[in-house]
Amino acid sequence: MFANLGYETASTRAIARRADVSLPALQYYFGSKEGLHRACAEYMMEDIHSRLDPAAAEVERALATAALSRKALLALLRQLLEPFLDGMAADRPESWVLFFTREQGRRTPAFDAVFQRIVSRLVALVTQIVGRILREPADTPAVKIRALAILSQIASVRRGRPLMLRALGWPDFEGDRLVTLREVLWRQIEASLK
């Protein structure tokens, strides 16, 4: 309901009714509308974090190595991006997309939490790898923009998922279809870093 109606319009009474729980129970567990909203964001963030954290931790360890070849850096980038792509391609409620789109547009505490907990780490790692591949300082706007363009390309899979599936005539991004999606996007990303 937060996704469909927005924070201001969604009432705790309507949410309780839709969830088939009493309003006092909702207030007991979440304290307030703000607490419920925060819990919704935390639930979605935990799903994303659990997908990305293992790969991000491995990539951070590997990047601590002073000298990595282009091939090794590309492999690290792919290792980091594949769980992100898998999450974007996965069958998740479209309400998640709407929720995060609304939060981003309003720059709410939920958006700040997503940015701090997930996005900033991902951006930093991709930027560091892109800078090292290009042999340019990672803190330059050009390197950051290239890293953000890579991430945006993958993030667009989530927003465009229904359109992509319909255009491809696919029921989902699973099995060989996910492999194909990974390969095509990876070739584009790799070509952009030459």
Q: Which helix (H) or strand (E) holds 129?
A: helix 120-134
| Residue 117 confidence class, pLDDT cut points 50, 70, 90 | confident
How far is residue 164's CA from residue 76's CA, in Å, rounded to a whole number? 27
Distance from C-alpha of 100 to C-alpha of 127, rounded to nearest angstrom: 23
Distance of CA 164 to the CA centre of its chain: 18
Question: Residues near 58 by Cβ (< 8 Å), separated by ≥ 6?
Answer: 79
Tokens 């491995």 sit at which residue? 58
Q: Give the pLDDT confidence score for residue 4 in this predicted structure.
A: 84
> What percent of the chain is predicted at pLDDT more than 70?
100
pLDDT digits (tens, 9 = 90+) for 30-76: 999 989 988 988 888 888 889 899 999 999 999 998 789 999 999 99
